[in-house]
Amino acid sequence: MRLTAVWTGLSSESSTTRLTERLIDAAVASARTNGIDPVVTRINLRRLATGLVNMTVTPTPDPELEEAFEAVQQADAVITATPIYKTAPVGIHMLFWQLVDEGALAATPVLLASTGGTPRHSLAAENTLRPMLGYLKGLVIPTSVFAATDDWGDPEDATRLTRRIETAAAELMAWASGSVGGGVRADKTADPLDPAGVTPFEQILEQR
């Protein structure tokens, strides 16, 4: 199983990086209880910021960025985490998903996570990233994880955060392993307009 984590950690002490690493650890632990040892690919968009901006103004591909896109397309499960700035996910994070090929996440389970100063920001990623990832045909799991500043300090809040992390990670691995949702994966390279893959209209009428 290939697990790809895409996050935007804007500093060496980033809480988003810390949250992502805990989600990775929880997902790997959950998978191993079922005899699966995931191969993890880590992508911190902080290192790809220049390539992302350049891609919007020039067609010249950035090799490191292309590798990141490929890792997303080949993944069996994806974790994506972003900091929330002024009620919205940070722009670099949004730009990455705006530049990914349509269908790159086709039928791929995705765990959505975010960090912010207060719980008031908890729905920001839900209102912006969840629809975008759904547009990319990703299967965004119902349970998401938001970590506010207090979640890292107060013992009671930290315990609740740990439970959310473990619940979401286990749910992601259940979808990725096929124990939830039937394990049906779409062909990400298929052309949706290929006549060979389109059901004839007459056949559709016969089925009604």
Domains of the chain, earliest start first: 2-206 (3.40.50.360)
Range 110-126 average pLDDT: 89
**Confidence at residue 7, expressed as pLDDT on a 0 to 100 scale:** 98
Please give the Cα distance from 177 to 4 (Å, whole number).
Answer: 15
Q: Is the pTM of this model over 0.75?
A: yes
Question: Per residue in 140-189, pLDDT tens?
Answer: 999 999 999 888 877 776 789 999 999 999 999 999 998 765 444 545 55
CA 164 to chain centre: 16
Q: Flag whether pLDDT at 201 surpasses 70.
A: no
Residue 38: closest CA among 8, 12, 76: 76
Range 19-27 average pLDDT: 97
- Helix (H) / strand (E) containing 69: helix 63-74
Instruction: Write the DSSP string, 115-129.
Output: EESSGGGTTHHHHHH
Question: Per residue in 88-114, pLDDT tens?
Answer: 999 999 999 999 998 899 999 999 999
For the ranges 52-56, 111-115, 118-122, the lowest mean pLDDT is seen at 118-122
For the ranges 28-42, 67-81, 180-194, the lowest mean pLDDT is seen at 180-194
What single-letter amino acid sits at 114? S
